[in-house]
Amino acid sequence: VKVLQENGDDPEKHLTITASQSLDDTDLCILKNDWGSIPVQPGDIIHLEGECKSGTWIITRDSGYLILYPDLLLSGTTISNSIRCMRKAVLSEKFRKCESGTCQMLIGTILHEIFQKTGTNFTQEELQELAFRTIHGPKYLKEMYQLNVKQHEIMQDIEEYLPSFSKWAEGFVHRPTQTNRIKMQLKLPSDDSKEDLSCNIEVTEFLDIEENIWSPRFGLKGKIDVTAAVKIHRRSGTQQKIMPLELKTGKESNSIEHRSQVVLYTLLCQERRVDPEAGFLLYLKTGNMYPVCGNRMDRRELLKLRNQLAFYLLQNVCKSSRENEQTQLASLPPLISDSQACKYCSQKHNCVLYSRAVEQQMENIFIPPDMGPVIEKETEHLKASHLEYFSLWYLMLTLESQYGKNKKGYRNIWMMSASEREKAGDCVGNMIRVERVQEVSDGQYLHWFQRKNGTMVGTNLMLGDRVVVSGEERTLLGISTGYVKEVSGNKISCLLDRNLSKLPKNILFRLDHEEGHFGVDASLGNLSKLMEDSSASERLRSLIIDFCKPQFIQHLSSVLPHEAKETVANILKGLNKPQKQAMKQVLLSKDYTLIVGMPGTGKTTTICALVRILYACGFSVLLTSFTHTAVDNLLLKLARFKVGFLRLGRAQKIHPDIQKFTEEEICRSKSIKTVAQLEELYDSQPIVATTCMGVNHPVFTRKRFDFCIVDEASQISQPVCLGPLFYSHRFVLVGDHQQLPPLVQNAEARDLGMSESLFKRLERNKNAVVQLTVQYRMNSKIMSLSNKLVYEGKLECGSEKVSQATINLPYLEDVKLELELLANTSETWLKETLDPNNPVCFLNTEKAGCKPSDIGIISPYRHQLKIITDLMPSSYVGTVEVNTVDKYQGRDKSIIIVSFVRNNNDGNLGELLKDWRRLNVAITRAKHKLIMLGCAPSLCHYPPLENLLCHLNTEAMISFLDMLLLDFVGAGPSSPGAAHPSGAHEHVYQCNLL
């Protein structure tokens, strides 16, 4: 889009538009009337509805629509919410987590479900029965726990509505009798103006409930409560239509918001079938139903509102005018000042926070005069440092969320064909539904899909991944979402939220991997919470933002209960000195402790011991980490001791051996059916384990813990790490900032400091830090590398055995013999490796008797790993573990082979290798043997690697390229001219026989 001309008097905008990236084939688009006010800018993507006559589109009051950023789908409720206050609508999109539910909302949800399930034919008895089953089923128990309400209280409220269900049915279902017929006025856009508008409405069938529709045509999305087959009886005749019904359980307001929702649904429905032209608002409190016409004016105004919203949601940053081109946050839609609306607004906190922390730093910001004092008062508990922290993190999170905007996201589901998307592994197309759909539980349906012809393509889809199911044809876009249950051969099973068995058998489906940026949502929620005026938030602000010195008490005797002493002593027996010191430090802490777990120092053992000790002392513990795997690693160890715990999180992501500790399983085995029983379960568990992002669970709205332990804390970004800390009085972060930091994709966000973990940030308070320095993984030679590189000699071996451990190769002598017979020299392998005709070699390690599963191959690059895997004998694939450095963090193997890949003359090492933390991880994974392959002269361009190579050279650990190396490393401080040629040779020999 290119803006050509703007006329001040008659707001009219002329746009040059093109459907192709090159500008050769352009059309003209004229925006008349107030369409000209749409904030469309050159380069924007738009969608036009209407007619194009001789290369010119004209969008006016009476015809045509312009959709700005049509790939941004906004929900019906978001748009109708923006009518009163657009600022609120934008904030609700950004701070999704911040809206807490109420009892009326829960009742509303339950009533929706009951009404939708009853269909058009029911008795009061059946209704009562269904209501009872719904309320006493497992589905809403957690929400009732959160709201602290009893089931019978909900049942009472629900019962009041049930007679109205019948009243509605009498008036509108199945040819109502003459006396019951309700007359209403309905003028459809297609109706003749002279027509008699009075009619009776007859709902004949519920064709669908909770129909999910995505409409990239209008930039809308939403769920239709009921898609109904309707007959409109008029004097002139009967018309049949498929129309949306919108259910409301609150006051019969017939408000503009309610009506707008229906108007938007009439647009959404066009994605699936012909324009319904109108829909109905059905108030379940009274049983009254009102028609809502989707007329041109309402649709036009709502789409204009959508465009405005889309603009605010996407244009959330701007480049500063200063020469350094720093990105700055943009302002939100202006503050309204409606004391009544603002008083009850669920986004009030975020609204004033953004105004104070971000907008008040800008020039030319208008604040309604009566809002000034309100903002002042609502943020008076925040210091300047807090506001700065908020606005910096808000900016970094915004930048990071923009990173994948074009690559990822929903839009690929409609912008790319399935076969196109299959190449990246994010989609599987050409699937048909096979076998019967199985209703696993309320609202969860197990489906099987099979490739229609040909074999399955390679896919990234894995157990537990979220998927979007669509028809290969555009009309069935996003019909359902769910999780992958199983991928086997050419079949995929999914647990979906809707039953697709009603659709025609021959429909071709595609399953798209659903990515998203949930991390950003959770982060913003936590950031907002950190700024709340509560004692927990205030404490965290002072500790985290203002670096208040963590406090410790003097004597253990005051925290250690007498009866726990023996148990604690027993647990301590199994620990080494620094580990014991860590236990003591945590017990003495009043605020927090940081445990630095250097490679192989027994972090898991230490955390387990800590949990057991805290448990013995009668403390409650919240145990978390960023990934499910890390949480389960701890739990697998913990389960061996007789310590019980509650594991929260999605079942499919949890280790099979831990399943019996999940909420789902416990509720099943104990057949928990009431809120009281659930409450009892939660209260009986002093140890709760989940991921950092799993703290959205209802349990945390009511429960607090004495301690929170966060494992792998150095890999978690600050706002995510913050999540669990709100629910505990003291916390323990375990990590090692010398290993990999949190992943940040956006370079600007990284430069602003986004990859600094909370662990790293708090490490400046030395009195809170304990270091685990005794390691049990690497032998002394391997350990020396990392000691030299990062740990300044602090690392030590746990025992002589660890220090001297080498690989055991039972057939070594046989192999030696065999090699000599075969090639008459022990350097065959070396020659082959150097032979120009063998560009890539795999060192076959089978012969000497080493288990393939003891070997790990690592590299910074996925493509390198792909090549290595492809060259490996197929019997090794899957047993010799080939993975990235990043994926190997926290793990080890007896033998590790590192491929550094880079080899060039201009010293170009790339970003990945230049992170010394990644290098540290790479060299600290091996227990007995570490083999590194790389071009020494290339690697020497990077000082830490040069340092490492220098050390290797001094210690005679470099093989067969030492002649070259001397030229580059020779200048190093401790490098002698010709370093142990015999030693180097010996090492080659060792490699060969491996």
Answer for which of 176, 597, 649, 735 binds DNA (CB under 7 A) is 649
Q: Is 259 in the site for DNA (CB under 7 A)?
A: no
Answer for which of 911, 963, 977, 982 binds DNA (CB under 7 A) is 911
Residue where the block lists tokens 């060969």:
992
Would you say 605 or 696 has its CB closer to DNA? 696
Answer for which of 291, 519, 578, 856 binds DNA (CB under 7 A) is 519
Q: Is 542 in the site for DNA (CB under 7 A)?
A: no
Question: Between residue 55 and residue 74, which ones bind DNA under the rule CB under 7 A?
Answer: none
CB 110 within 8 A of CB 103: no
Shortest spacing between CB 428 and DNA, in angstroms:
17
Q: Is 75 in the site for DNA (CB under 7 A)?
A: yes
Answer for which of 55, 458, 516, 983 binds DNA (CB under 7 A) is 516
Instruction: Please tell me whether residue 78 adopts helix, strand or coil conformation.
Output: helix
Q: Is 219 in the site for DNA (CB under 7 A)?
A: no
Helices 296-314/256-268 angle, 10° precision:
90
**What does 616-635 look like in DSSP terms, one character per residue?**
HTT--EEEEESSHHHHHHHH
Shortest spacing between CB 447 and DNA, in angstroms:
16
- In whole angstroms, give the CA distance from residue 865 to residue 137: 49
Would you say 568 or 744 has its CB closer to DNA? 744
Q: Is 352 in the site for DNA (CB under 7 A)?
A: no
Answer for which of 39, 618, 907, 910 binds DNA (CB under 7 A) is 910
Answer for which of 60, 120, 180, 346 binds DNA (CB under 7 A) is 346
Q: Is 276 in the site for DNA (CB under 7 A)?
A: no
Q: Is 270 in the site for DNA (CB under 7 A)?
A: no
Question: Between residue 913 and residue 932, which ones bind DNA under the rule CB under 7 A?
Answer: 915, 918
- In whole angstroms, give the CA distance from residue 453 to residue 875: 29
Answer for which of 29, 68, 78, 141 binds DNA (CB under 7 A) is 78
Would you say 466 or 847 has its CB closer to DNA? 466
Question: Between residue 656 and residue 715, which ones bind DNA under the rule CB under 7 A?
Answer: 690-691, 693-694, 696
Would you say 198 or 254 has its CB closer to DNA? 254
Question: Between residue 954 and residue 983, which ones bind DNA under the rule CB under 7 A?
Answer: none
Shortest spacing between CB 914 and DNA, in angstroms:
8
Would you say 522 or 733 has its CB closer to DNA? 522
> Which of these ranges, 431-439, 510-518, 771-779, 829-837, lies near DNA under the rule CB under 7 A?
510-518
- In whole angstroms, give the CA distance from residue 345 to residue 349: 9
> Which of these ranges, 153-161, 167-175, 626-634, 922-930, lies near DNA under the rule CB under 7 A?
626-634
Would you say 851 or 862 has its CB closer to DNA? 862
- Inter-residue long-range contacts of 601-604, CB under 8 Å, 24+ positions, other chains counted: 601/772, 601/773, 601/774, 601/775, 601/776, 601/795, 602/576, 602/772, 602/774, 602/775, 602/776, 603/711, 603/734, 603/772, 604/633, 604/634, 604/637
Neighbours of 416 (CB within 10 A): 16
CA 736, distance to chain mean position in Å, is 24
- In whole angstroms, give the CA distance from residue 3 to residue 121: 57
Shortest spacing between CB 436 and DNA, in angstroms:
23
Shortest spacing between CB 239 and DNA, in angstroms:
26
Reading the block at residue 53, the tokens are 């006559």
Would you say 212 or 266 has its CB closer to DNA? 212
- In whole angstroms, give the CA distance from residue 730 to residue 709: 9
Residue where the block lists tokens 């203002």:
546
> Which of these ranges, 310-318, 519-527, 809-817, 872-880, lies near DNA under the rule CB under 7 A?
519-527
Answer for which of 117, 304, 452, 653 binds DNA (CB under 7 A) is 653
Would you say 628 or 928 has its CB closer to DNA? 628
Q: For the window 162-201, what string marks contact with DNA as x by the rule CB under 7 A?
A: ----------------------------------------
Q: Is 636 in the site for DNA (CB under 7 A)?
A: no
Q: Is 102 in the site for DNA (CB under 7 A)?
A: yes
815 torsion bin: left (phi>0), alpha (psi -120 to 50), beta (else): alpha
Q: Is 409 in the site for DNA (CB under 7 A)?
A: no
Nearest to 509 by CA among 446, 437, 436, 430: 430
Q: Is 345 in the site for DNA (CB under 7 A)?
A: yes
Neighbours of 803 (CB within 10 A): 14
> Which of these ranges, 313-321, 428-436, 511-519, 967-975, lies near DNA under the rule CB under 7 A?
511-519
Residue where the block lists tokens 């972090």:
603
Shortest spacing between CB 480 and DNA, in angstroms:
11
Q: Is 756 in the site for DNA (CB under 7 A)?
A: no
DSSP 651: G
Nearest to 987 by CA among 952, 958, 962, 947: 958
- In whole angstroms, give the CA distance from residue 402 to residue 405: 5
- In whole angstroms, give the CA distance from residue 623 to residue 975: 48
Q: Is 300 in the site for DNA (CB under 7 A)?
A: no
Q: How far is CA 859 from CA 211, 257, 345, 586, in A?
A: 46, 56, 52, 37
- In whole angstroms, give the CA distance from residue 304 to residue 306: 5
Q: Is 949 in the site for DNA (CB under 7 A)?
A: no
Q: Is 735 in the site for DNA (CB under 7 A)?
A: no
- In whole angstroms, give the CA distance from residue 128 to residue 114: 10
Question: Between residue 831 and residue 870, which ones bind DNA under the rule CB under 7 A?
Answer: 860-863
How many residues interact with DNA (rule CB under 7 A)? 73
Q: Is 763 in the site for DNA (CB under 7 A)?
A: no
Answer for which of 167, 181, 491, 517 binds DNA (CB under 7 A) is 517
- In whole angstroms, give the CA distance from residue 135 to residue 152: 9
Residue where the block lists tokens 């090639």:
823
Shortest spacing between CB 84 and DNA, in angstroms:
7
Question: Between residue 457 and residue 476, which ones bind DNA under the rule CB under 7 A?
Answer: 465-466
Shortest spacing between CB 366 and DNA, in angstroms:
24
Exposed, middle or buried, 529 (CB in 10 Å: 0-12/13-18/19+)? buried
Question: Between residue 870 and residue 909, which ones bind DNA under the rule CB under 7 A?
Answer: 884, 886-887, 908
Q: Is 104 in the site for DNA (CB under 7 A)?
A: yes
Would you say 99 or 870 has its CB closer to DNA? 99
Instruction: Please tell me whether residue 589 adopts helix, strand or coil conformation.
Output: strand
Answer for which of 743, 840, 841, 971 binds DNA (CB under 7 A) is 743
Residues 6+ apart with CB under 8 A from 24: 18
Strands 646-647 vs 687-691: parallel, antiparallel or unpaired: parallel
User: Which uninterrupted H or E stretch holds 950?
Assistant: helix 943-954
Shortest spacing between CB 344 and DNA, in angstroms:
5
Would you say 778 or 901 has its CB closer to DNA? 901
> Which of these ranges, 108-116, 698-706, 807-815, 838-846, lies near DNA under the rule CB under 7 A?
108-116
Beta strands in 235-358 (DSSP E): 237-248, 278-283, 288-293, 317-319, 327-329
Answer for which of 105, 207, 572, 636 binds DNA (CB under 7 A) is 105
CB 449 within 8 A of CB 456: no
**Which residue type is seen at 700?**
F
Shortest spacing between CB 899 and DNA, in angstroms:
12
Question: H-type helices in 646-710, by residue range?
Answer: 663-669, 675-683, 699-702
Q: Is 216 in the site for DNA (CB under 7 A)?
A: no
Q: Is 497 in the site for DNA (CB under 7 A)?
A: yes
User: Which uninterrupted H or E stretch holds 596?
Assistant: strand 592-597
Q: Is 452 in the site for DNA (CB under 7 A)?
A: no
